[in-house]
Structure 1
């Protein structure tokens, strides 16, 4: 009976040690995966050839817009966080910037609703300024200033090491809007 008790105690210690060893291996691989993802994101940003995929739109004023004198709430729960279910993106290339993003919010001048000129934040620019710098908490902040896109003044893209990003669009004739999403290679 004593030998059975000793075998049980030894097996218990071996099992506990094995579980601890597996836990440390899993933590190191998670850290390695995070570092690999951060290196991949840095490489994408340095190549200046990536795509920001927008998942949510965050209009200034909480997603409330006026149409024909009536207020409409565009977000389902009233917080201004609008889910985008189409392939809205902002493509950055070394020689061009291509924006295909929706707009929710107020226009201040020269933008009639439902007109051929009212097409969201959609343009192609070949003359633009591009500057990247380190931001808070290790994020990278990229500022893009298109010179040949009417009313589109500045775009500020803040990218984390994991690839999630926020794009803020500053437009002359409309309220500011931001988009949440991630960057990818395309």
Structure 2
């Protein structure tokens, strides 16, 4: 009887954990189509700042965890089309030349002059190296997209510490 109860509890736990797992709304066939077309939107879910100052501030809050990951609200994205690159991403970290205009302290820009080079990565991923020529502070952005739709974006700037984002890709909204 005790083993039956433990098996039942274990089965319910597996069912609940499986139901709570995050799923991607884009099918694998649609992901390969998006990657082939080269037009998609990266939706950021988490920010990973590299600055130890940010981590120290986050750890000073009561009841905080010691993780370096910041969960983001819905809407932070990097939209890639054939003729336009639109970034709306927050920034957490040290800036070496800050601006009094707070809207310019994050990654919010539209680029019409950019290069994208595509290469294949490990375990079937696709790596996009993006160079925005009309943005003076951004050196490069590296976007790695996996076969299940999950993606990892790293931004390297000349005026601030690097930052990376975890998220997924989706089809561009019409």
Instruction: Specify if TM > 0.5.
Output: yes
Map 1:11-160; keep pairs closer than 5 Å.
37-61=27-51, 64=54, 72-73=57-58, 76-108=64-96, 110-112=97-99, 115-116=101-102, 118-160=104-146
Deviations 1:87-144 (A, max 9, x none): 1000000001000000000012x214x5346330111001001111110111100111
- 8 Å CA contact retained: 1:154, 1:169: yes
Q: Which runs of 5+ in 2 are unaligned?
A: 1-25
Higher Cα radius of gyration = 1
Q: Is 2:148 the partner of 1:180?
A: no
Q: CA deviation at 1:39?
A: 2.9
Q: Distance in 2 between matches of 1:101 and 1:116?
A: 13
Separation in structure 2 between the aligned mates of residue 138 and residue 184 of structure 1, nearest angstrom: 18
How many residues are matched?
Answer: 144
Deviations 1:123-178 (A, max 9, x none): 10010011111101111001110000130111100011000000001111010000
Distance in 2, matches of 1:163 and 1:102, equals: 22
What is the RMSD computed on CA atoms of the aligned residues?
Answer: 2.1
Structure 1 gaps of 5+ residues are 1-35, 66-70
Contact 2:98 2:105 in 1 (8 A): no
Q: TM-score, normalised by structure 2?
A: 0.76
In the alignment, the residues of structure 1 paired with residue 94 and residue 115 of structure 2 have an alpha-carbon distance, to the nearest angstrom, of 26
1:85/1:62 CA distance change after superposition, 3 Å:
farther
Aligned equivalents of 1:52, 1:63: Cα separation in 2: 27
- Taking a change above 3 Å as real, the CA distance of residues 116 and 83 of structure 1, as seen in their structure-2 partners, is closer
**Cα shift at 1:83:** 0.3
